[in-house]
């Protein structure tokens, strides 16, 4: 199991040299502490996955971390050493704006929370509310800033867009407004966030693009803005860029620093100082990507992350297929040509660079840009400044760096949101590949085949002696020194094909190759031009079985907004981009189809259907097009339009155009399509029927083209909600079965396999979770035992249905799968608690009798009981719980008894399950000594008895 926290939203690095932890809050609604020495999670709290659990702010004071979550409704205090909850308070509703620690004299005692219409002050020790005050004129004024610096008052700044600012001053003791509301005219100001900041002794500094100037105003003494033109400092804004101001207040009981950063363009920052009414320019940073302030003791430093070579506008790399670089993204896409970055420290008072404070690091491998920079500064023994840096890149990787550029650790947080997953067999070793082609081809002749056989045997002997030598060499070492590290060079398939390569695609557009037995990341690849919210489909076109052709995976990436797609073709074992050029997709893709036909290089053919119902084949060689023409009459596909409630079927013509063959309309005003689930293409069914108690056979209806369509009612009233399930033939559009579950609602989880469908839903009348199972049978006679065709099925199958009560909600559900389908099937059910339950399919059998008969006992049917119990011994992950599980993936292994399982969510967990126990493997307690000694004894006895018999015969002959 591997645990993750997600993309960072807030992070705090303790400002002491010996500190061992950093406290983070993430976009996945997680509060956690990481070990700063190793990057491991010390403790972690996972909130709800919905916007209700979103963390809006995090403040650190000493050993306490204060978080505001659920849009400002919940205020919590955490003990950062062990992760315990100190206290929790629920606040009044209202749109959350900002939170801040408030000090009085020399002590930080309170936390202030500013909402749209009110401000409240709470004690840090127990969270109790000291006072709450309504903000005047909150209908028209947007209150967005809060400032205090230990003088017993809190300044609240509100803005009436393009009119004026309101400055309120509250007393910390009783919440009284101590000064008259100050109105400061600011007709050019639209918002305070990012544009304004407080520096020095409560001086507000704002930046205005149109007049190319800064405006300053003291909150305590002045009532109007003073304009300072930036041209006087020779500073210019970049066109179309919204400048930002970044100031720092190291301690809430003392004033802010008078220095601040002004961002003039995406890669241009200036360090300015406003002191005693004068604005001075301290230093210019031309090639800066990120800046940050940090303080230790009395020293405040500015950290600046710059590119080592010149920043240049991002070149559209080859992955971008058919789409152009929009103007709005030009300013963001400044890339560093050699992916090498420097971090330097500067004294804020003078802008002077501190010597020996450079950290140099390289992001060549991922190609992603740094996105956030957090600095941990400490004073060394000789009073010089030392520091460590935490850098988060746009592909959600965390790097913890120390001088002069050593990567202490890195974490791949994009694995907290895996969206697609496939398992690929590992390649054969050289010796195994030789064995595969041991006998050569018939064209080689008898002598050639014999020589090939001899050479391959020699290679195997060589490999075996090398293995023996390694065993002998390792046996002399202590066990702790023997390294069984897996790297990309020594990857090889094991005897039973239990180790595989897990290819994972994450929501940030990063691909990973992970070795399944150890969880080692062997390669990673970042797709630069993938936008947030894109959907992915991963397909294996060629496996490792076709040596010397490399395996090949194809990833289809579809943009959510433009609906445009592109293909990325790569080698799943090494992660390298393939030499094969995929077709450029000029139209949005609606459906993909992986056909069983192959090209001359053994790559399966991928059909892509666009919004004009035209078909593109990949690879599109002459050989493939000829094969497509031959089998076009038997290629059908379906499209789902959930918004219009339409399912339509198409067939392929010889000239690769399509024609509609059927259509099913589900009225959207009554119900909407939620899921459409087909069967897995790699699934094998071992037995065609079930032997009944009277020795007759009940044949399964095995339709490979069957689709299970789940609909939910649009009316959400608990008396009128329902769930519909339709079993539709994907070739003819014939509705084979439909049923409606009244007073039921989603979310619906469904598994469709062999001749059965299991789905789970919430029963609103009985207020419980339920399973319904459907099984399809042809009857006691098979219509056509040799071949199946959807076009020739006059008789509808018999449908058996049964429902069961399940005592828990469900996060994910999948069925086990094995190489030949002999092993009995289990349902793997992911529970919200993080456990995975392995439930035998036999428990969800619609033929379970209420009153057992002789025949049902003969058939081993369990008597019907409506409850499905959760037994703890059926959990396959014991105490290794998976937070916020989103999916379960199953794959067959080389052993028929074994199925490989990967569960993913916020964590990733991999294991093996044995639904019918390990019937094809000798047990661990198998008595080799006894069996061997009995065998040797028998051989010895036969040799002696043979000798005795010969002597006896000889003696008889002499008589």
Sequence-distant (≥ 6) Cβ neighbours of residue 913 within 8 angstroms: 816, 826, 828, 838, 876, 898, 899, 901
Say if residue 738's pLDDT is above 80. Answer: yes
Answer whether 306's CB lies under 8 Å from 353's CB. no
User: Mean pLDDT in the chain?
Assistant: 86
Say if residue 315's pLDDT is above 80. Answer: no
Residue 17 pLDDT grade (very low, low, confident, very high; cuts 50, 70, 90) = low
Mean pLDDT over residues 354-369, rounded?
Answer: 81
Which pLDDT tens digit goes with each residue over 227-245?
A: 888 888 888 888 878 888 8
Say if residue 421's pLDDT is above 90. Answer: yes
- Count other Cβ atoms within 10 Å, centred on residue 232: 10
Distance CA 611, CA 749 (A): 29
Sign of CA dihedral 941, 943, 949, 955: negative
Q: What is the pLDDT of residue 826?
A: 94
Q: What is the pLDDT of residue 323?
A: 32
Which is higher by pLDDT, 16 or 367?
367
Which pLDDT tens digit goes with each residue over 164-179?
A: 888 888 888 888 888 7
Prior bond to 619 cis, omega within 30? yes
Residue 387 pLDDT grade (very low, low, confident, very high; cuts 50, 70, 90) = confident
Q: Which of 202-216, 448-462, 927-941 has the highest mean pLDDT?
A: 927-941
Lowest mean pLDDT among 209-223, 307-321, 696-710: 307-321
Q: What is the pLDDT of residue 956?
A: 92
Q: What is the pLDDT of residue 781?
A: 86
Mean pLDDT over residues 681-705, rounded?
Answer: 88
Q: Give the residue among 877, 909, 912, 876 at the shortest CA–CA distance from 892.
A: 912
Distance CA 45, CA 395 (A): 23
Which pLDDT tens digit goes with each residue over 633-646?
A: 889 999 999 888 89
Sign of CA dihedral 625, 631, 636, 637: negative
Say if residue 806's pLDDT is above 90. Answer: yes
Percent of the chain at pLDDT above 90? 30
Answer whether 515's CB lies under 8 Å from 503's CB. no
Say if residue 728's pLDDT is above 90. Answer: yes
Mean pLDDT over residues 722-746, rounded?
Answer: 91
DSSP letter string, 682-713: T-----SEEE-TTS-EEEE---TTEEEEEEEE
Lowest mean pLDDT among 220-229, 429-438, 469-478, 621-630: 429-438
Which pLDDT tens digit goes with each residue over 444-457?
A: 677 877 887 788 78
Which pLDDT tens digit goes with each residue over 238-264?
A: 887 888 888 888 888 888 888 898 888
Sequence-distant (≥ 6) Cβ neighbours of residue 209 within 8 angstroms: 237, 242, 243
Mean pLDDT over residues 891-901, rounded?
Answer: 92
Q: What is the 3-state secondary structure of 915-959?
A: CCCCCCCCCCCCCHHHHHHHHHHHHHHHHHHHHHHHHHHHHHHHC
Mean pLDDT over residues 32-44, rounded?
Answer: 91
Q: What is the DSSP letter of 352?
A: P
Q: What is the pLDDT of residue 231?
A: 81
Distance CA 324, CA 109 (A): 54
Which is higher by pLDDT, 191 or 774?
774
Mean pLDDT over residues 806-829, rounded?
Answer: 93
Q: What is the pLDDT of residue 31?
A: 93
Which is higher by pLDDT, 71 or 774?
774
Mean pLDDT over residues 813-838, rounded?
Answer: 93
Q: Determine phi and psi for 388, rounding to 5 degrees.
A: -125, 155
Residue 327 pLDDT grade (very low, low, confident, very high; cuts 50, 70, 90) = very low
Q: What is the pLDDT of residue 334?
A: 59
Lowest mean pLDDT among 271-275, 378-382, 665-669, 929-933: 378-382
Say if residue 770's pLDDT is above 90. Answer: yes
Q: Give the residue among 191, 253, 184 at the shortest CA–CA distance from 223.
A: 184
Prior bond to 625 cis, omega within 30? no
Distance CA 112, CA 615 (A): 61
Residue 803 pLDDT grade (very low, low, confident, very high; cuts 50, 70, 90) = very high
Q: Give the residue among 599, 608, 528 at the shortest CA–CA distance from 567.
A: 608
Maximal CA-CA distance, the chain: 139
Q: Give the residue among 308, 241, 307, 235 at the shortest CA–CA distance from 272.
A: 235
Which pLDDT tens digit goes with each residue over 500-543?
A: 999 999 998 899 999 988 888 999 998 888 888 888 999 998 88
Q: Give the residue among 497, 395, 281, 442 at the shortest CA–CA distance from 8.
A: 395
Q: What is the pLDDT of residue 932?
A: 93
Lowest mean pLDDT among 375-389, 646-660, 715-729: 375-389
Q: What is the pLDDT of residue 325?
A: 27
């Amino acid at each position: 199991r591997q645990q993750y926290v997600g993309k960072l939203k807030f992070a705090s690095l303790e400002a002491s040299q010996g500190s061992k932890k950093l406290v983070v809050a993430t976009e996945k609604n997680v509060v956690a502490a990481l070990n700063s020495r190793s990057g491991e999670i010390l403790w972690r709290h996972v909130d709800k996955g919905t916007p209700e659990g979103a963390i809006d702010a995090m403040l650190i004071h000493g050993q306490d971390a204060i978080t505001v979550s659920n849009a400002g409704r919940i205020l919590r205090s955490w003990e950062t050493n062990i992760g315990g909850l100190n206290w929790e308070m629920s606040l009044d509703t209202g749109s959350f704006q900002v939170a801040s620690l408030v000090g009085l004299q020399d002590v930080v005692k309170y936390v202030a929370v500013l909402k749209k219409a009110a401000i409240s002050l709470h004690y840090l020790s127990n969270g109790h509310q000291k006072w709450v005050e309504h903000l005047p004129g909150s209908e028209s004024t947007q209150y967005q800033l809060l400032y205090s610096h230990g003088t017993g008052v809190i300044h609240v700044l509100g803005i009436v867009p393009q009119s004026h600012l309101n400055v309120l001053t509250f007393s910390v003791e009783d919440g009284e407004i101590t000064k008259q509301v100050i109105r400061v005219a600011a007709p050019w100001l639209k918002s305070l966030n990012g544009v304004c900041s407080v520096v020095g002794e409560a001086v507000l500094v704002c930046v205005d693009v149109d007049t190319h100037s800064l405006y300053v105003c003291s909150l305590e003494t002045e009532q109007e803005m003073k304009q300072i033109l930036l041209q006087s400092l020779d500073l210019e804004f970049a066109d179309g860029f919204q400048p930002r101001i970044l100031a720092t207040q190291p301690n809430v009981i003392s004033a802010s620093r008078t220095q601040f950063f002004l961002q003039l363009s995406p890669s241009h920052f200036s360090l300015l100082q406003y002191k005693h009414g004068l604005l001075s320019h301290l230093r210019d940073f031309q090639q800066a990507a990120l800046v940050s302030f940090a303080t230790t003791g009395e020293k405040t430093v500015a950290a600046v992350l710059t590119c080592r070579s010149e920043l240049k506008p991002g070149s559209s790399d080859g992955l971008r297929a058919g789409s152009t670089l929009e103007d709005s993204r030009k300013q963001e896409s400044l890339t560093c040509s050699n992916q090498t970055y420097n971090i330097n420290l500067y004294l804020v008072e003078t802008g002077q660079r501190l010597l020996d404070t450079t950290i140099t690091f390289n992001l060549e491998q991922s190609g992603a840009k740094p996105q956030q920079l957090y600095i941990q500064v400490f004073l060394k023994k000789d009073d010089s400044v030392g520091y460590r840096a935490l850098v988060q890149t746009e592909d959600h990787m965390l790097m913890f760096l120390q001088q002069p550029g050593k990567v202490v650790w890195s974490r791949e947080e994009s694995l907290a949101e895996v969206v697609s997953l496939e398992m690929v067999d590992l390649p054969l070793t050289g010796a195994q590949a030789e064995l595969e082609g041991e006998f050569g081809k018939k064209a080689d002749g008898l002598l050639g085949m014999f020589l090939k056989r001899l050479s391959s045997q020699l290679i195997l002997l060589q490999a075996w002696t090398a293995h023996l030598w390694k065993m002998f060499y390792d046996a002399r070492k202590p066990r702790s020194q023997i390294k069984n590290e897996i790297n990309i060079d020594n990857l090889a398939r094991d005897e039973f094909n239990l180790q595989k390569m897990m290819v994972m695609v994450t929501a940030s557009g990063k691909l990973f190759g992970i070795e399944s037995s150890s969880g080692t990341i062997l390669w990673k690849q970042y797709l630069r031009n993938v936008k947030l919210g894109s959907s992915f489909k991963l397909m294996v076109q060629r496996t490792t079985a076709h040596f010397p052709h490399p395996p090949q995976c194809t990833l289809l990436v579809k943009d959510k907004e433009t609906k445009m797609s592109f293909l990325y073709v790569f080698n799943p074992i090494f992660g390298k981009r393939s030499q094969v050029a995929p077709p450029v997709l000029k139209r949005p893709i609606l459906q993909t189809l992986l056909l069983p036909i192959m090209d001359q290089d053994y790559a399966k053919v991928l059909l892509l259907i666009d919004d004009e119902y035209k078909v593109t084949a990949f690879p599109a060689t002459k050989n493939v097009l000829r094969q497509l023409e031959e089998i076009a009459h038997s290629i059908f596909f379906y499209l789902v339009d959930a918004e219009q409630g339409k399912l339509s079927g198409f067939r392929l013509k010889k000239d690769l155009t399509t024609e509609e063959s059927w259509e099913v309309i589900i009225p959207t005003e009554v119900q909407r399509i939620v899921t459409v689930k087909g069967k897995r293409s790699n699934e094998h069914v071992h037995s065609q029927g079930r032997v009944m108690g009277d020795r007759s056979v009940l044949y399964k209806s095995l339709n490979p083209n069957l689709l299970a369509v789940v609909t939910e009612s649009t009316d959400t009233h608990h008396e009128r909600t329902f769930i519909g399930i339709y079993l539709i033939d994907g070739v003819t559009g014939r509705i084979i079965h439909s049923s409606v579950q009244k007073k039921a609602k989603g979310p619906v989880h469904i598994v469709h396999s062999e001749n059965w469908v299991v789905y789970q839903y919430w029963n609103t009348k009985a207020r419980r979770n339920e399973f319904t199972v459907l099984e399809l049978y042809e009857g006691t006679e098979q219509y056509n035992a040799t071949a199946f065709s959807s076009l020739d099925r006059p008789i509808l199958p018999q449908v058996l249905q049964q429902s069961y009560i399940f005592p828990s909600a469900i996060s994910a559900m999948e069925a086990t799968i094995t190489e030949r389908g002999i092993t009995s099937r289990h349902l793997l059910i992911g529970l919200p608690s993080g456990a995975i339950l392995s439930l035998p399919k036999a428990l969800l059998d619609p033929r379970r009798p209420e009153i057992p008969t002789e025949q049902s006992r003969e058939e081993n049917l369990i008597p019907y009981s409506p409850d499905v119990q959760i037994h703890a011994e059926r959990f396959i992950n014991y105490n290794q719980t998976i937070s916020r599980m989103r999916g379960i993936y199953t794959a067959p292994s080389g052993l028929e008894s074994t199925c490989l399982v990967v569960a993913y969510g916020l964590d990733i967990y991999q294991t093996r399950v044995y639904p019918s126990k390990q019937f094809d493997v000798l047990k661990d307690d198998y008595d080799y000594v006894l069996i061997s000694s009995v065998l040797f004894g028998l051989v010895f006895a036969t040799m002696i008895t043979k000798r005795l018999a010969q002597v006896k015969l000889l003696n008889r002959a002499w008589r």
